[in-house]
Amino acid sequence: MLRLTELKLPLDHPEGALQQALCAAIGLRPAAVRDITIARRAWDARKRSAILLVYSVDFTVDDEAALLRRAAADKVLARTLIRTPDTRYHPVAQAPALLPQRPVVIGTGPCGIFAALILAEMGFRPIILDRGKVVRERTKDTWALWRRNQLTPESNVQFGEGGAGTFSDGKLWSGIKDPQHLGRKVLTEFVAAGAPEEILYVAKPHIGTFRLVTMVESLRAKIEALGGEYRFGTKVVDFLVETGRDGQRRMAGVVTEAGETIETRHVVLAIGHSARDTFFRLQAAGIFVEAKPFSIGVRIEHPQSIIDRARFGAFAGNPILGAADYKLVHHCTNGRSVYSFCMCPGGTVVAAASEPGRLVTNGMSQYSRAERNANAGIVVGITPEVDYPGDPLAGIALQRHWEERAFVAGGSNYCAPAQLVGDFLAGRASQSLGAVVPSYRPGVTPTDLATCLPDFAVAAMREALPAFGRQIQGFDMAEAVMTGVETRTSSPIRIRRDANFRSVNTQGLYPAGEGAGYAGGIFSAGVDGIRVAEAVGRDLAGLAVAA
């Protein structure tokens, strides 16, 4: 099978135009080209008056070698015609008949799910631990915060089956390098679990919260059918480490809050970016942890129609394009960078707190992206060298400080502090809101967000918003709403690992995903889970052979 890339057609092209364009590009009659399938579809909106669809198409012909030879002499075809890559997933190991100990996976976010799935497919029957609840029970607890101001510390947007990505836009793309096509495994498993097949070929696939819930359940059923064992409501409170005669530290097991010791030599640590108490337990166990940069800021909301018009012009509302997104960055005179984060077209701002007395925001969309507002984080990068030096866990203290300030500013009841962009730019507290109705639940309190953010972040955002308004007309509109605070953009720590994905000072511990500092979003976390599971599988299979 061959693949032709960069095949461009008008947004409103008629049915059959794709086949015609393909045949014209390769110089063959339609009867000679078979099995045409779309491998990728993106759009090019650099000219809003002439938006193009950009396709990669797979197809077969009788003599592929001849076509490739002819293409080699054509500058355009030589660049755009290739053999279709093999993106099927191939397991790297197989569990022996006798397995002395089962691997343990801690966490059931995207990283933990795919680590568990790959281990289960290789026959290693993983034990999967999660401090939270199954996804449907977790959803009820999350709604209790949104509707009744009731926080359940172990079951919320951050904790429970599906991880933080369950209550998000469900974005399934990333800029990571993936030469082994592991991302294809993530997407095909999601389709098998109930995601729409279009995620296999659209350039920026997403699935939304409601679909993610049923998909997570389906993946759990598959893992259990393959021998995996889930234990919810099981929080790990200690890590057992032994030092061998060679001086090497090795995992010996984990201890749960209920007092159970699970002996194992292989632990996948996929705990997410908000398991702060676990970070402290890791440090106490002598596992190497270091501070890493993250960002802090707010959520901003505009009418989705403004973003659509700014990005698509007369094509705004086209069903193929859907709700428009954006990606913005501004480098400030104070040396800080302000950028948009986790943009949610046609979505809502959600309460994402996981600790009592602290307030956190995030963004979420359903598959339809049909809500009236667009929202995104507008955040400022911070670094341990400048902003939280010293203790590797100092970033957690910084997060907690501003989350507590936001909690008080919002009314100490999980309502969020909010401010109009016009008031924020003018340096005055908001007394009321305007035409843009904030979507955050349980509600917002108009105030001055400068009391909930570092001074340098306030100054940087005041400089960046007008700059963003020059890129997207209306972005700095006076009645746009800002809601604070956004502190969980990424993990404040990194659990450093070696080339074999193991902790640099504790063999058998495999830090993985967003919480360990190696992913950022559903897709990259899933890919990292696969990579780590493969490393565990190779090691377990090697040990079995050696024995």
Q: Stretch 114-129: mean pLDDT, rounded?
A: 98
Average pLDDT over residues 264-287: 97
pLDDT, average across residues 286-296: 97
Q: Do residues 211 and 243 share a domain?
A: yes
Write the pLDDT tens digit of every residue in 475-520. 999 999 999 999 999 999 999 999 999 999 999 999 999 999 999 9
Domain CATH for 29: 3.30.70.2700
Q: Residue range 22-41: average pLDDT? A: 96
Note whether 275 and 344 are same-domain residues. Answer: no
- pLDDT band of residue 545 (cuts 50, 70, 90) is very low
| Co-location of 174 and 307 in the same domain | no
Residue 332, Cβ density class (10 Å: 0-12 exposed, 13-18 middle, ≥19 buried): middle
Alpha-carbon distance of 496 to 283, in angstroms, equals 12
Same domain, 252 and 352: no
Same domain, 270 and 316: no
Same domain, 299 and 388: yes
Q: Is residue 544 scored above 80 in pLDDT?
A: no
The pair of three-digit structure tokens given for residue 87, joined into one six-digit string: 């993106």
Confidence at residue 173, expressed as pLDDT on a 0 to 100 scale? 86
Same domain, 477 and 495: no
pLDDT digits (tens, 9 = 90+) for 323-360: 999 999 999 999 999 999 999 999 999 999 999 999 99
Quick one: 463 and 330 in the same domain?
yes
Report how far apart, in Å, the C-alpha atoms of 276 and of each of 73, 191, 227, 388, 491 are: 59, 33, 30, 16, 10
- In whole angstroms, give the CA distance from residue 117 to residue 114: 5
Rounded Cα distance, 397 and 204, in Å:
35
- In which domain, by residue range, is 46 found? 2-83
Number of domains in the chain: 3
Rounded distance, CA 120 to CA 118, Å?
5
Residue 99 belongs to some domain of the structure: no
Residue 258 CB coordination number (10 Å): 10
Q: Quick one: angle between helices 135-148 and 208-225, nearest 10?
A: 150
- Asked whether residue 286 falls in the same domain as residue 302, the answer is no
Q: How many percent of the chain have pLDDT more than 90?
A: 92
Residue 93 in domain = no
CA distance 233 to 256: 10
Confidence of residue 214 (pLDDT cuts 50, 70, 90): very high
Confidence of residue 294 (pLDDT cuts 50, 70, 90): very high
Both 403 and 542 in one domain: the answer is no
Is residue 495 in a domain? yes
What is the arithmetic mean of pLDDT over 124-129? 98
Q: Are residues 394 and 471 in the same domain?
A: yes
d(CA 463, CA 528): 36
Q: What is the mean predicted confidence (pLDDT) over 150-168?
A: 94
pLDDT at 547 over 80: no
State the Cα–Cα distance between residues 367 and 375, nearest whole angstrom: 15
pLDDT at 100: 81
pLDDT digits (tens, 9 = 90+) for 404-433: 999 999 999 999 999 999 999 999 999 999
Q: Mean pLDDT of all residues in the chain?
A: 95
| First CA to last CA distance, the chain | 44
94 lies in a domain?
no
CATH number, domain containing residue 266: 3.50.50.60
In whole angstroms, give the CA distance from residue 107 to residue 519.
Answer: 14
Q: Is residue 91 part of a domain?
A: no
